[in-house]
Structure 1
């Protein structure tokens, strides 16, 4: 005889900082729930980051609910082991009702209005579903990778740990977003010959006019700007993050300087065929555009300083330290010493387990501040869910509180209707 599925008012799918933040606010309101985590809390931070990984935002921005950063370096940048410790302390503080090692395989609306929640340990039902699994699920590796010689070691950025992991020889890093730029730097500092296929990621300064740029932007209210107020509106969610680093106390990442020190830069990698890597003729444009963004942010800070009469040391805007020569659009692989490739071109979301009419044509959820058009379905922890910090430690707690407030109102209304019906 098959037993009835266990019912929980709220099912939270994902046990990272987003799901834990939701659990914190649900517990504060006495709302029964379960958090389903297919691996373990803090798993991705512990197992999918390289050894020298650190935050690119200062520690003072880490403000999970009831768990602000309280360490000795508020203006520093937590390293990988410190981030994991910070999150594990949050898990202990929240003490969530979490089912670790349990994967949610399907969620769908039943005829009675409840959600069916199928998991690797059995079936549940729920009134509300909070998707807190993030948007970085499937590593992007292009089909051209299949045509590279078998002698070439290929890994994705989430598999990279350190330079010694790769075979002796030169390394091709594909992509210059945050991960690609930092991994290229990690290899470069270790003395490995690096080839970098540069994309269109912007960059920003680490420090400008005596302060961290993040601190200036916080004072300027940038991190309080909502997606509805942003000039790009929903389009800002597709933006690539600026590359910068918190390594060794924080510094700029300047690809031009790397090139002047021997790193080989190319445009976007478009294909591998006939034994050659083929690159787009766009390196100069990409570098120039990244510098325009860099100087544009600094100019906005200059304006803020002037308008508010702030005493801050003057600083010149960036001028290029290296210029590319004749563009290289074709590189015979056999004529290089490249023995490994690190793909740093991102991830795609995978919400196939959620059977709900809440997605656009690209498979991304449609929502307003995490609340979708389908009653009872919510998202949390996505980039620019509401503000710049929505996918980070800084604002995910506020987003979670908002979603939980909506959930509480819905559950209270449902109970009122049921009470009257009785």
Structure 2
């Protein structure tokens, strides 16, 4: 029986573990992967953070790269591994939690290998659970290679010929930009009216400006926070206007339907596509938590990570848990610090 079990050894789980260490709490992290940093290492090879080093630190340990550096996935994974080692954080790997129930005041967590028990549970599994792909993907010929951005590594995975990239978020734009450099035909499906921002403005990083104007600290319940949370995330560090004007890039609008090798878009039909990269995001999945109530976006109902429906259940790392930075490497520490204070006050009552 643990006082706390944290589900997930990503940045959110590690941040709250740091504070539980300071409390000398009896706790454990369980994680579905085989090592710390695995979700980062699984992402595409050229991935780089769009936040500079000075905005990437977890509590108690500075991100170990010079100011203004944009870390790659290997550097992030290495930092997380070093964090676990530095603070001697207890983690049990290869435990994917498939069921969480509270019975007689005790949480029972079922993994594929064993059952855990705890008085409190902190779910830190992040916002990315089930890869989303439009239903028309099942109508596409098996001769066309289809891959979700979760499994995309590099252009070396792709067949020779034209590639379709679907999705107008950071992932879609970065992958489109990389594939377009191969000088093969590339189709882009998605909104082209994207706000893109440079990584630096007037000699200062974009995130420095964000911090000065309050974008990073505005919470979801404030006027500005409500506005920001309803607007799309800008693409940072890629000039999308220039990208969309490249000779080998064709913007075709939204994907509407498919029939074998013919794919129908808002602007035209195309039948020469050999590869599709679905950068269409993820859907949350909390159905494994017994008795949980979800909001309109399918995330657990909570206030600053404290469940509104199940006593002793907490959440970290959700998008806009409190601020825009709640699901980011450097932003999660503020939510973890708040939750730690809440837990201390709860125990002392």
Distance in 2 (CA, whole Å) between partners of 1:125 and 1:238 is 38
Q: Deviations over 1:370-400 (max 9, x none)?
A: 1121221111011221112111122211211
Distance in 2 (CA, whole Å) between partners of 1:406 and 1:169 is 55
TM-score by length of 1: 0.78
Structure 1 residue 356 corresponds to structure 2 residue 291: yes
TM-score by length of 2: 0.93
Distance in 1 (CA, whole Å) between partners of 2:135 and 2:168 is 19
Q: Deviations over 1:71-104 (max 9, x none)?
A: 2x31120112211212211121222111111121
Distance in 1 (CA, whole Å) between partners of 2:315 and 2:180 is 38
1:265, distance to aligned residue in structure 2 (A): 0.8
1:351, distance to aligned residue in structure 2 (A): 1.2
Unaligned stretches of 5+ residues in structure 2: none
Structure 1 residue 58 corresponds to structure 2 residue 52: yes
8 Å Cα contact 2:141-2:259 kept in structure 1 = no
Structure 1 residue 389 corresponds to structure 2 residue 325: yes
1:258, distance to aligned residue in structure 2 (A): 3.5
Distance in 1 (CA, whole Å) between partners of 2:112 and 2:325 is 32
Aligned to 1:278: 264
Q: Which of residues 397, 402, 414 is equivalent to 2:338?
A: 402
Instruction: State the number of aligned residues.
Output: 346
1:358, distance to aligned residue in structure 2 (A): 3.0
Give the RMSD, CA atoms, in angstroms: 1.9
Aligned to 2:10: 16
Distance in 2 (CA, whole Å) between partners of 1:156 and 1:116 is 33
Aligned to 1:68: 62
Would the alpha carbon gap of residues 274 and 43 (structure 1) be closer, same or farther in structure 2, given more than 3 Å must change?
Answer: closer
Q: Which of residues 317, 330, 338 is equivalent to 2:268?
A: 330
Q: Which of residues 94, 100, 104 is equivalent to 1:101?
A: 94
Unaligned stretches of 5+ residues in structure 1: 1-6, 246-251, 281-328, 414-422
Aligned to 2:206: 213
Q: Which moves more between the two structures, 252-261 or 347-356?
A: 252-261
8 Å Cα contact 2:162-2:275 kept in structure 1 = yes
1:365, distance to aligned residue in structure 2 (A): 1.3
Structure 1 residue 264 corresponds to structure 2 residue 250: yes
Aligned to 2:312: 376
Correspondence list, 1:251-330, <5 A: 252-273=238-259, 276-280=262-266, 329-330=267-268
1:256, distance to aligned residue in structure 2 (A): 4.2
Whichever of the two has the greater Rg, that structure is 1
Distance in 2 (CA, whole Å) between partners of 1:179 and 1:163 is 14
* Higher share of residues assigned helix: 1
